[in-house]
Amino acid sequence: MNTVRDVCVIGLGLLGGSVLRAAVASGRKAWGASTSVADAEAATADGFDARGGDGAVADALSRAAATDAVVVLAVPLTAVRSVLTRIEQHAPGCLVTDVTSVKAPVHDAARAVAPSVTFVGGHPMAGTAESGWRASTPTLFDGAAWVTTLDGSTDLSAWREVATLALDLGARVVPLDADTHDETVARISHVGHLLAAVLASVGAAGGPVAASLAAGSFADGTRVAGTRPELVQAMTEGNRDALLPVVDEVLGALGAARGSLASTGGLAATIRSGHDALRRMAEQRDAPTTPVRVRLDAPDAPEALLSIGHRGGHVTGFDGDVALADVP
């Protein structure tokens, strides 16, 4: 099981395109297909093995089945179920991972429509407000956290293969269960997209003078509102169960600030909490780490791997059947 699998990428936008570029750059054989003929043609023009259209996706999957390649699903969340259905049809039994920003619904879909495949969920914490093949780059994942999901029933040799792919693409691997992933991205990504959208709307309501005065802090706070709306909608709506309580936390904190401003005129609690929170997160990120080794054939290996992710650590590589990790 130490062979390096070929990589079949379905979807050639920012993430899929970057996976294809980085996989080739790492020395893997890799090909891509997209229902977007434009993205596929752009990839071909850049020298990659890529084809576009519905037939192309089926062909790419059949080729993955023939070579036992790992299939990387890099389509918007709204298209995941239909592509999984086609994987079950054209590449049954394959190893499949994804790069979607929500994990529990993708796991549910895989169980429902692609029961024969071995699915290990993935999510690289990398992106820009740009999209499409033209925005893709082989270095997008350098140093980024790449969540790879597992639970007590996960085939750890399959998990290791997906983790190894993420490492080959330049990322650090964060083992997490799907629910912890979904709650965490609701906090550090999805609710931020909503706040950016609201801030943009409230700013624009100030008319031309607001557009004229808006400077760096407004650009920072609204940057992700420039992302393609259908992508933001798919990921936020797709994470509804985890996102709702986080939106309620934000409403509670902002409502408390509003009440304090209206009554005593004071905003110290809100502002100092935010400032302290940012410093605390920076300290956690910069904390010294201890090396940890997890034998993948040990009975408690899933718990040991999940504990690495929960404590803010990440897997840096493998030594045979042993995962090597750095943990704060």
Measure the CA–CA gap between 103 and 122, rounded to whole angstroms.
Answer: 8
Q: Smaller CB distance to a copy of itself: residue 97 or 184?
A: 184
Q: Least distance from C-beta 78 to a copy of itself, angstroms?
A: 12
Q: Smaller CB distance to a copy of itself: residue 1 or 262?
A: 262
* Nearest Cα to Cα of residue 60 among 28, 98, 89, 82: 89
Q: Smaller CB distance to a copy of itself: residue 53 or 221?
A: 221
Both structure tokens of 305: 């791997």
Q: Least distance from C-beta 132 to a copy of itself, angstroms?
A: 16
Measure the CA–CA gap between 82 and 59, rounded to whole angstroms.
Answer: 16
Residue in the structure block whose two tokens are 């049954």: 92
Q: Smaller CB distance to a copy of itself: residue 58 or 194?
A: 194
Measure the CA–CA gap between 233 and 224, rounded to whole angstroms.
Answer: 12
Q: CA quadruple 179, 235, 316, 169: dihedral positive or negative?
A: positive
**SS3 call for 259:** helix
Q: Least distance from C-beta 140 to a copy of itself, angstroms?
A: 11
CB-based contacts of 176, cutoff 8 Å, min separation 6: 147, 148, 149, 150, 184, 306, 309, 310
Q: Least distance from C-beta 102 to a copy of itself, angstroms?
A: 13
Q: Smaller CB distance to a copy of itself: residue 28 or 172?
A: 172
Q: Least distance from C-beta 63 to a copy of itself, angstroms?
A: 33
Backbone angles phi and psi of 34, in degrees to 5: -145, 145
Measure the CA–CA gap between 65 and 274, rounded to whole angstroms.
Answer: 50
Q: Smaller CB distance to a copy of itself: residue 63 or 311?
A: 311
Q: Least distance from C-beta 42 to a copy of itself, angstroms?
A: 24
Measure the CA–CA gap between 84 and 61, rounded to whole angstroms.
Answer: 11
Q: Smaller CB distance to a copy of itself: residue 104 or 117?
A: 104
Q: Least distance from C-beta 276 to a copy of itself, angstroms?
A: 8
Question: What is the residue type of 326?
Answer: D
* Nearest Cα to Cα of residue 293 among 306, 304, 285, 302: 304
Label the pairing between strands 70-73 and 290-295.
unpaired
What distance, in Å, lies between the first and last C-alpha atoms of the chain?
A: 30
Q: Smaller CB distance to a copy of itself: residue 56 or 185?
A: 185
**SS3 call for 322:** strand
Q: Least distance from C-beta 170 to a copy of itself, angstroms?
A: 14
